[in-house]
Every structure is written in C-alpha cells, then in structure tokens.
Amino acid sequence: MKRTVLVIEDDRAIADVIRVKLALDGWDLIETRSADEGLRLGRPAHPDLVIVDLHFVGNDGERFLREWGADRPAFLFVGRKPNGNVLNRLAEQPGVAVMTKPFRLRDLSRAAQELASGWHVRQDWTEEERIAQ
C-alpha cells in the first residue's frame, strides 16, 4: 500500500525535486502552494505525512499544527535558518521534525520514511552537521 504525502511548498524548483524524489520512493503526492490550501485539501485526504515550508507558518508552526486538529499525521517542517526557539518548540511536538534548507534528498527520504512509520527521527538536520558528514 502506497503512502501519501502532502507537500506545501511555494518554490516550484524545490517542490519539483521533492515530488520526483518521493515519487521514486513510492509515495503518492498531493501538492499545494499555500498553508490554507494545504489545510483545506490535506485534512480530508488523511496523508501519512505533511511536508510544509516554514515560510508559510513563520513563527507559528504550533498554530498550524493545532489548526490541523487532533487527528494529524506526522509533520516535517523545512525552512531556511528559522528562529532557533521555533525549531525547539516544534521539535518537542510528537511526530514532528524540522529540516533546514538546503537539505540532502537522502535525508528528506529517510526522514519521510521514519516519520510516517512512527519511528524516532532526528529532529533537526543543520547545515553544520551536513557539512561535517
């Protein structure tokens, strides 16, 4: 059975790369370009995972999670160097991870699989750690 991922990303280049990688990994995809559209389309679709650009939710990722509701899937927030406090608060939420852009596709793929499977996932992939690898 294929898993479904909702990707909320306005940068077409990044959305295309995510779509191709996750499709190759066997995911069914739903794509939107805004957080409001993501909520409207995503909730009734019951995806296994939501990948959302932190740009859309800014410092209020927690509000976005609340708006999704109690029956929410795993979330992977991606963004460029967001506020560390935002990262920490989001990372404390169950079933949530944060990935800093730019990211490696293999890290995205691994995080998607782990989050959707309910496995423990590294909470943050920082630029410094990627360079050190």
Give the Cα separation of 82 and 47 in Å (integer): 25
Segments of the chain scoring below 50 in pLDDT: 122-133
Contacts of 35 (CB under 8 A, 6+ apart): 8, 52, 56, 57, 64
pLDDT at 60: 59
Model pLDDT for residues 64-99, shown as the tens digit of each residue: 778 888 788 888 888 776 566 766 777 777 888 888
pLDDT at 64: 78
Give the Cα separation of 14 and 2 in Å (integer): 22
β-bridge partners, 96: 75
pLDDT at 102: 84
Q: 4-8 and 28-32 as β-strands: parallel, antiparallel, unpaired? A: parallel
Give the Cα separation of 50 and 105 in Å (integer): 16
- Which domains are assigned to the chain? 4-132 (3.40.50.2300)
